[in-house]
């Protein structure tokens, strides 16, 4: 078939390379690779191409064992290690047919074409002939004759075709190998007419991934409804070059941007011309906190924001600490383990940059720094943010509110003391109740709270063990709310010795929206 397994390496640097041996582009979506040992008929899935990946004529695709560094971006990773002495790889087409197979050593019959190739040495690969710049065309359906043992030369989808034909329309998409989240960067599509004849009425098509936001398109190009950028060129004389450019913004997340399948058609070309893929890794920098919260467990992220909770207040386990960060997009808990290094000291309003991996703990989402002090950097001190005021329904109705500093107003309908906390229920005007967890580690007490009184309660909203809870941090997070009237309070000592003076204090509190003037306050003793 036109698509073949072109190189296999097992042992310490496992990879599988594919080769398009035809003059037409091939979309790998739907193809899958299966591995078998020679001692069993059990299928061990290696990889399935779930997305579009279009290989140009004589182009390659590269899959590698997860964690292996081949010195270049790979087109996919697999987790099944390959055995150097026994095994075979089968390439299945989207229709389920076996498109190609190669086996070595003690080989599984299903994946053996003719006779198996020899066992693999520890430091060499199995390569389809002729190999190198000559490509990988030899396919006599005999693994022993079609493959040879050689030094590994893996090629990915961004590599130039092999062989590189002399008479061709050369296409190359040039861009940055990496970009920070949100960065604006450029693509340049370079065309060189090496066909030996003038080309007329060229249509240049560049399909873009949906994660990119196009900022500007040069040379009269336009983006169609499917996201492709299309240019129309009247001509490209023999031997001439041209370049078509655009700028785009990287997404606010960590992702690999893989662009393949860009092409040129012309009535003077026998078939469309294609170029190798362009790969950009969006990495480094910082990402919005709400994006970090959406990423899978184990994803390493960097975020920056203001501290809405200080270290040392919430219980984090012996020898550990935690705090909360918030930016314009959301908030998140930072759980710091003492085994990672010296614990940071974070105050309310500190601007901090935190790196670590995403973890889920009892339904809460958190970032766990791995190396201290490097992963928690205090950039400066600013004014602490104010809480976002909302109803209970608004607070618990949006999962993105978790981890944020918010405030709700309602009646204290329950106040109870537990071993390590106080528990308070606040019911708002709509009759909805929110549970307040007052951690005794903050030094807060519920002794001065009155059941049935109206409060505006602020704190970190968190979803923990299947339940929403609001966690106050400082005394000012509880504000008694009074009717809009002038309130008077008279206080005096409870006891006094005979003959001692007694001091009476009359306090006036204006809870109205306007200033009160010319007041006369009197009391009868």
Task: Enumerate the CATH 2.60.40.1260 domain ranges in the chain, comma separated.
Answer: 3-150
CA 109 to the chain's CA centroid? 42
CA–chain centroid gap for 142, Å, is 44
CATH classification number, 3-150, choose in 3.40.640.10, 2.60.40.1260, 3.40.50.300, 3.30.565.10: 2.60.40.1260
CATH for the 298-381 domain, from 3.40.720.10, 2.40.50.140, 3.30.530.20, 3.30.70.20: 2.40.50.140
What residues does CATH 2.40.50.140 cover in the chain?
A: 298-381, 388-480
Q: How confident is the model at residue 509 (pLDDT cuts 50, 70, 90)?
A: confident
Distance between CA atoms of residues 259 and 268, nearest Å? 26
Contact (CB, 8 A) for 364 and 464: yes
Q: Which CATH architecture has domain 169-282?
A: Sandwich (2.60)
> What is the average per-residue pLDDT within 139-153?
97
Distance, CA of 263 to CA of 56 (rounded, Å): 9
- Residue showing tokens 């390379």: 17
**What integer pLDDT is reported at residue 486 of this predicted model?**
85
Helix (H) or strand (E) segment spanning residue 266? none
CA atoms of 309 and 326, how far apart (whole Å): 9
Beta strands in 250-363 (DSSP E): 255-259, 263-265, 273-274, 278-282, 300-309, 321-326, 331-336, 350-361
Going by their DSSP bridges, the two strands 199-206 and 273-274 should be labelled as unpaired
Question: How far apart are alpha carbons 187 and 177 in whole angstroms?
Answer: 11
What lies within 8 Å, CB to CB, of 251 at 6+ separation is 181, 182, 211, 212, 213, 282
pLDDT at 212 over 90: yes
Give the model confidence (pLDDT) of 215-273 as tens digits.
Answer: 999 999 999 989 999 999 999 999 999 999 999 999 988 999 999 999 999 999 999 99
Half-sphere exposure of 494 (CA within 13 A, CB side): 0
Compute the distance between CA of residue 1 and CA of residue 98 in angstroms, rounded to an integer: 10
Percent of the chain, pLDDT > 90? 90
166-176 pLDDT tens trace: 999 999 999 99
d(CA 486, CA 513): 11
CATH of domain 388-480: 2.40.50.140
Q: Tell me how far apart the alpha carbons of residues 17 and 154 are, in angstroms, rounded to a whole number.
A: 7
State residue 210's pLDDT score: 79
DSSP secondary structure letters along 6-49 = EEEE-TTS-EEEEEE-SSS-EE-TT-EEEEE-TT----EEEEE-
pLDDT per residue as tens digits for the range 453-479: 999 999 999 999 999 999 999 999 999
Condensed to tens digits (0 to 9), the pLDDT of residues 342-393 reads 999 999 999 999 999 999 999 999 999 999 999 999 999 999 999 999 999 9
Q: Considering the chain, what is the average pLDDT of its residues? A: 96
Give the C-alpha separation, 418 to 439, whole Å. Answer: 10
* Tens-digit pLDDT profile for residues 88-102: 999 999 999 999 999
């Amino acid at each position: 078939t036109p698509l073949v397994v072109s190189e296999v390496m097992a042992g310490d640097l496992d990879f599988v390379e594919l080769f398009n041996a035809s003059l037409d582009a091939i979309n790998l979506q739907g193809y899958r690779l299966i591995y078998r040992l020679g001692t069993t008929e059990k299928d061990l899935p290696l990889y399935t191409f779930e997305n579009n990946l279009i290989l140009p004529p004589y182009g390659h695709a590269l899959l590698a064992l997860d964690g292996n560094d081949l010195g270049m971006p790979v087109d996919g990773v697999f987790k099944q290690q390959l055995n150097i002495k026994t095994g075979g790889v089968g390439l299945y087409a989207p229709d389920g047919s076996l498109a190609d197979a190669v086996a070595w050593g003690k080989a599984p019959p299903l994946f053996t074409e003719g006779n198996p190739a020899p066992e693999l040495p520890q430091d060499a690969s199995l390569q389809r002939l002729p190999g190198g710049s000559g490509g990988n065309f030899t396919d006599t359906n005999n693994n022993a004759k079609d493959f040879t043992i050689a030094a590994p030369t893996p090629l990915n989808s961004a590599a130039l075709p092999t062989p590189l034909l002399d008479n061709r329309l050369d296409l190359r998409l040039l861009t940055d190998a990496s970009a920070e989240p949100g960065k604006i960067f450029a693509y340049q599509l370079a065309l060189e007419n090496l066909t030996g004849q003038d080309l007329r009425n060229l249509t240049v098509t560049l399909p873009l991934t949906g994660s990119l936001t196009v900022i500007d398109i040069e040379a009269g190009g336009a983006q169609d409804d499917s996201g492709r950028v299309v240019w129309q060129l009247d001509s490209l004389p023999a031997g001439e070059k041209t370049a078509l450019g655009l700028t785009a913004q990287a997404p606010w997340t960590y992702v690999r941007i893989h662009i393949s399948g860009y092409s040129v058609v012309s009535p003077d070309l026998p078939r469309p011309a294609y170029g190798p893929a362009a790969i950009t890794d969006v990495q480094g920098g910082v990402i919005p906190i709400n994006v970090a919260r959406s990423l899978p467990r184990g994803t390493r992220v960097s975020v920056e924001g203001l501290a809405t909770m200080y270290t040392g207040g919430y219980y984090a386990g012996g020898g550990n600490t935690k705090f909360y960060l918030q930016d314009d997009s959301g908030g998140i808990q930072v759980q710091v383990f003492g085994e990672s290094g010296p614990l940071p000291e974070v105050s309310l309003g500190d601007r901090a940059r935190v790196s670590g991996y995403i973890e889920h703990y009892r339904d809460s989402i958190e970032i766990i720094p791995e190396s201290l002090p490097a992963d928690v950097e205090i950039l400066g001190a600013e004014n602490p943010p104010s809480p976002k005021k909302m109803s209970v329904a608004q607070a618990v109705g949006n999962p993105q509110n978790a981890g944020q500093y918010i405030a709700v107003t309602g009646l204290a309908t329950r106040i109870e003391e537990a071993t390590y906390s106080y528990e308070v229920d606040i019911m708002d005007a709509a009759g909805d109740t929110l549970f307040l967890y007052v951690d005794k580690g903050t030094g807060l007490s519920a002794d001065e709270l009155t059941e049935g009184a109206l409060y505006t309660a602020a704190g970190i909203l968190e979803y923990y063990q299947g339940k929403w809870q609001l966690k106050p941090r400082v005394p000012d997070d509880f504000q008694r709310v009074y009717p809009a009237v002038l309130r008077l309070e008279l206080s005096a000592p409870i006891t006094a010795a005979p003959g001692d003076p007694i001091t009476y204090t009359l306090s006036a509190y204006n809870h109205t929206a306007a200033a009160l003037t010319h007041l006369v306050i009197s009391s009868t003793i």
